[in-house]
Amino acid sequence: MKLIDAERLETVIKSLFNEKNPIISIILDNIHSQTAIESDDWISVTDRLPEECHNVLVYCPTNNNIWVAHYFNNKWIISTNSSNGIIIDEPVTKWQALPLTPSDNNTH
């Protein structure tokens, strides 16, 4: 699953295509009907893993920790400013996509 900015997608579609086109109208209606990802959309690592090297939130129940980390080479690695990161040495049981960043035009 890839997260997209629906508002930007709508802007691009409108700039490239005529909104009166019935297919484009259906596409725009579908974009408007999509709901935001809920914060409790945790995915079990036994169901599936995220794409390698993409930062996600991970949950480690041993100490009730939540980290920003990525999966690489069969390891969960906490993202840091260093090139290596920190390998998580406790079991990761669930993960979810990072929330969207605030948009530049939303100052609240």
> Which pTM value belongs to this model?
0.57
pLDDT at 45: 96
pLDDT at 22: 79
pLDDT at 85: 83
pLDDT at 1: 41
9 touches 31 (CB < 8 A)? yes
> Which residues make beta-bridge pairs with 72?
75
Mean pLDDT by 10 residues, the chain (108 residues): 63 78 76 58 93 92 92 90 83 92 63
d(CA 31, CA 11): 11
Q: How far is CA 96 from CA 34, 49, 78, in A?
A: 18, 10, 14
In our burial notation (b when 16+ CB lie closer than 10 A, e otherwise), range 22-41 reads: eeeeebbeeeeeeeeeeeee
Domain-wise residue ranges, the chain: 1-34, 43-97
